[in-house]
Chain A
Amino acid sequence: MRVMVMVKATEDSEAGRPPTPELMDAMMKYNEELAKAGIMLAGDGLKPSSQAKRVHFDGASRTVTDGPFAETRELVAGYWIWQVKDMEEAVAWVKRCPNPMFGPSDIDIRPLYEMEDFSDVLTPESIEREARLRKELGG
């Protein structure tokens, strides 16, 4: 299964406070470990939300708001995509991560949808409809 592992933002990360060299070093080692274990597919750090934009949807309207966004603890400061056997394995790996922030912080693990998850939702008819649509659109 694949999971997205999200490092949640803090006041420090939102303020753009850079990590200490020690933390950088520990993180690098941790990333190497993940790569060596063959589970890391991707990962990146995100800039503070002061550099972000948000598009709000309501019916046909689209409203763009500039960052920073208020709900700091709900924001994501970085992520990985891992391929693991199960959630327990993902948790065991996350526990080995150095604390990515200066103070208390959270890391969320969210499983990605896989093809099997859609087998009940996608009927042969809906697949055919989708294929026809793609054809009409020249995709």
Chain B
Amino acid sequence: MADETHRAIEAVFRIQRARLIAGLARLTRDVGRAEDLAQDALVIALAEWPQSGVPRNPGAWLMAAARRRALDALRHVRMRDRKHAAILRESQEADDGHAALEAALDDELGDELLGLIFAACHPLLSREARVALTLRLLGGLTTEEIARAFLTPEATIQQRIVRAKRTLGGAGLRFEVPRGAARAERLGSVLEVIYLVFNEGYAATAGEDLIRPALCAEAQRLGRILAGLLPEEPEVLGLLALMELQASRFAARTRRDGSLVPVPEQDRSRWDRLLIRRGLDALARAEALGGARGPYVLQAALAACHARVPRAEATDWPRIAALYDRLLEVMTTPVVALNRAVAHSMAFGPQQGLALLAQIEDLPAMQGYAPLPAAKGDFLLRAGRVAEARACFERAATLTRNEREREFLTERAAACERADVDGKCDPGPATKSYI
């Protein structure tokens, strides 16, 4: 029974935790201290709530308890500089104006939470540290869970988080929401971190630790929170739409043996209609805000092309090709350039695909990139140039590091030899999984 009460209190705490840390980080300007103070508040709640019952506004109660702790500690420490004195004064003023604080609490908490999100994704930190810190502070994952999710030793994650907190502390961050020109760049980092978390979960295969696919749910939750805090930012909505649409295919994207099913071959009756609807809604809002040229919005629009049609044969390839044209302008990566060529080959025939590949195949980034000869082989085969196609598949097979993909490519090369070809487009798993 006591256990049950504890678990119930912990559940209430979990709901409040990120906001609590956010408020305390702004108060103490030390995110590590903020996390400890939040934990102290939980300990106090665990001691008091079983007798007193859960307060009507548990968030405010926990915040008040943690704040008292912080002020007690500050009073005991000798004021070494005016900065601390100023913080203390501000806090006391805040305490005095408690009624006003309550009224403004909701807006302020939203702003504080946003400040914490931006801090956890601060460019001062390495990408890995941003991801770990975001999951720890905002997702409430334990160090052990993060380690399991990223297949990394727990000590490494622990160290990464400790160091990240120290870096943020040393930089004298105020945990405020960046404004003006800095905002766009900082927001880019936040979106990148959330999408990294999502992709790590999406890459998990059947039979793996369930914490890995749970990363997708965590990223979606963060995306939804961010969309609530920044409802006017089209790229935030674009990322949310992209994640909801990709997650809608979760049940259909793997075979029993754990191998991935490319989108055109997926059983669409198993796509999640609720997530598709949410994704399309978010995309529509992003486009209505004038965000149609942002990289996340464009990627969501691509995912939506598949979500909107009931059968793979009905896919609007000319539209996909046009979206890739635009995406390449804002996201110039080998993957996008290659997918653009594949989309054009689907929309306008293999010659178009070959023409676009000719523009990129000499680029340094494309050297040794297996999906390129795999796609080229496919275009050549569809154009009836069987011998050249075979050479491309063989080359791709020697380049790939993925065993399953090598088997697939070797088989395609062998099919060329047998002249056993049906002219169907099949650029290979590596490319198809992105399209």
Q: Which residues in A have some Cβ–Cβ distance to B below 8 Å?
A: 35-39, 41-42, 81, 83, 85-86, 88-89, 91-93, 95, 115-116, 124, 127, 131, 134, 139
If A42-B274, A83-B220 touch, whether A92 touches B15 (CB-CB below 8 Å) is yes
Is B221 in the interface zone, CB < 8 Å from A?
A: yes
Interchain CB contact (< 8 A) of A37 among B220, B225, B274, B278: B225
- With A37-B221, A92-B8, A92-B12 known, 5 other A-B pairs at CB within 8 A are A35-B224, A38-B223, A39-B224, A42-B274, A91-B11
Q: What are 7 inter-chain pairs, A to B, with CB distance below 8 A?
A: A41-B278, A83-B221, A92-B11, A92-B15, A127-B256, A131-B267, A139-B269
Contact with A38, one of B210, B221, B256 (Cβ below 8 angstroms): B221
- Asked whether, in the complex, the Cβ of B7 is within 8 Å of the Cβ of A88, the reply is yes
Query: When chains A and B are docked, how far (Å) is the Cα of A37 from the Cα of B218?
Result: 11
Is B54's CB within 8 Å of the partner chain A? yes
CA distance A139 to B271 in the complex (A): 13
CB distance from B107 to the nearest CB of A (A): 11
B14 at interface by CB-CB < 8 Å:
yes
Residues of B contacting A: mostly: helix
CA distance A131 to B270 in the complex (A): 11
Once the chains bind, are A93 and B15 in contact (CB under 8 Å)?
yes
The 10 nearest A-B residue pairs measured at CB: A38-B224, A88-B11, A38-B221, A92-B11, A38-B225, A36-B228, A92-B12, A115-B251, A89-B11, A88-B7
> Which parts of B37-57 form the interface with A (CB within 8 Å)?
54
A26 and B54 alpha carbons, distance in the complex (Å): 19
Min CB distance B380 to A, Å, is 30
A41 to B221, CA, bound (A): 10
A34 to chain B, nearest CB (A): 10
List, in ascending order, chain A residues with CB within 8 A of B305's CB.
Answer: none
CA distance A36 to B274 in the complex (A): 18
Q: With an 8 A cutoff between CB atoms, is B10 at the interface?
A: yes
**Bound-complex Cα distance A38 to B351 (A):** 46
Asked if B250 CB lies within 8 Å of chain A CBs, one says yes
Chain B residues in 8 Å Cβ range of A92? 8, 11-12, 14-15
Q: How far is the CB of A68 from chain B (nearest CB, A)?
A: 29
Per the bound structure, the CA–CA distance linking A38 and B15 in Å amounts to: 11
Chain A's closest residue to B13 (CB) is: A92
- Report if A39-B228 is in contact (Cβ < 8 Å); known contacts: A88-B10, A92-B15: no
Cα separation A116 to B208 with both chains bound (whole Å): 12
A131–B7 CA distance with the chains assembled, in angstroms: 43
Q: A83-B217, A88-B8 are in contact. Are A38 and B228 (CB under 8 A)?
A: yes
User: Could you tell me the distance between the alpha carbons of A63 and B251 in the complex, rounded to whole angstroms?
Assistant: 35
B110 at the interface (CB under 8 A from A): yes
How far is A63 from B70 in the complex, measured between Cα atoms in Å? 67
Write out, one digit per residue, whether chain B residues 369-396 have a CB within 8 A of any chain A CB (1) or not (0). Answer: 0000000000000000000000000000
Check A95–B54 contact: CB distance below 8 A. Answer: yes
Interface check B222, CB cutoff 8 A = yes
Minimum CB–CB distance from B284 to chain A (whole Å) comes to: 16
Contact A134 B269 (CB under 8 A): yes
Q: Which residues of A contact B217 (CB under 8 A)?
A: 83
